[in-house]
Amino acid sequence: MQLFVGLGNPGAKYQGNRHNIGFMVLDEMARRHGFAPWRRRFQGETSEGNLGGERVILLRPLTFMNDSGISVQAAASFFKIAVGDIAVFHDELELPFSKVRVKVGGGIAGHNGLRSMSAHVGNEYRRVRLGIGHPGAKELVHNHVLSDFAKAERPQLEALVDAVTDNVALLADGRDSTFQNKVHLTMQAKGFTSKDDTGT
Sequence spans of domains, the chain: 2-189
| pLDDT reported for residue 199 | 43
Q: What is the pTM of this model?
A: 0.94
Beta bridge partners of 129: 90, 101
Out of 19, 90, 144, 184, the active site residue is 19
| pLDDT reported for residue 198 | 44
Task: Name residues of the chain where pLDDT drops below 50.
Answer: 197-200
Q: What residues have CB less than 8 Å from 71, skipping those under 6 apart?
A: 42, 43, 44, 59, 61, 62, 63
| pLDDT reported for residue 150 | 94
Given the DSSP bridges, would you call strands 2-6 and 54-61 parallel, antiparallel or unpaired? parallel
Which superfamily does 2-189 belong to? Answer: Peptidyl-tRNA hydrolase (3.40.50.1470)
User: CA-to-CA distance for 10 and 36, rounded, in angstroms?
Assistant: 20
Interior angle at CA 161, CA 50 and CA 53, nearest 5: 15
| pLDDT reported for residue 195 | 54
184 is catalytic: no
3-state secondary structure (DSSP) of residue 93: coil
Backbone angles phi, psi at 60, to 5 degrees: -110, 105
3-state secondary structure (DSSP) of residue 61: strand
**Conformational region of residue 109, where left means phi above 0, alpha means psi within -120 to 50, and beta covers everything else:** left
Interior angle at CA 110, CA 117 and CA 41, nearest 5: 25
